[in-house]
Amino acid sequence: DGGITQSPKYLFRKEGQNVTLSCEQNLNHDAMYWYRQDPGQGLRLIYYSQIVNDFQKGDIAEGYSVSREKKESFPLTVTSAQKNPTAFYLCASSRRRDSGTEAFFGQGTRLTVV
């Protein structure tokens, strides 16, 4: 079945450590997105990418980094520069050229700083 897989589902990080969240899709989608969601809040865009080896900063990119070496994969690294990383992280993908195509989401990763 086609879909988006995020791993791990739960992640614990010690202060000062970098952690990488995985996002893989087999939908042959060009566009991929990363969002952060705090409890009871909306989705805030971190980074997005429309083609391999290219990505754009979203609204809250500071303290995060991404790569897009393969069409299927868009990993997100939460660096030690992110002061408050505890949140729910969602990855999404969609077709690129058609603005009418809905984005499909993964199940999310809950990151907690301990």
Partner 1 sequence: AQKITQTQPGMFVQEKEAVTLDCTYDTSDPSYGLFWYKQPSSGEMIFLIYQGSYDQQNATEGRYSLNFQKARKSANLVISASQLGDSAMYFCAMREPYTGGTSYGKLTFGQGTILTVHP
Q: Check residue 34 for interaction with partner 1 (CB under 8 A).
A: no
- The C-alpha atoms of residue 111 and residue 87 are separated, in whole angstroms, by 6
- The C-alpha atoms of residue 35 and residue 2 are separated, in whole angstroms, by 21
Decide: 23 and 6 in contact? Cβ < 8 Å: yes
Which letter does DSSP use for residue 101 in this model?
Answer: S
Rg of the chain (C-alpha set): 13
- Stretch of 16-24, 48-56, 62-70, 71-79 contacting partner 1, by CB under 8 A: 48-56
| Residue 107 CA from chain centroid, whole number | 11
Tokens of 96: 């690129």
- Contact with partner 1 (CB under 8 A): which of 18, 26, 56, 112? 56
- Stretch of 10-18, 19-27, 37-45, 70-78 contacting partner 1, by CB under 8 A: 37-45
- Stretch of 10-18, 65-73, 75-83, 84-92 contacting partner 1, by CB under 8 A: 84-92
- Contact with partner 1 (CB under 8 A): which of 35, 64, 74, 87? 35
Contact residues toward partner 1 (CB under 8 A) are 31, 33, 35, 40-45, 48, 50, 56, 58-59, 88, 90, 92, 94, 96-97, 99-105, 107-108
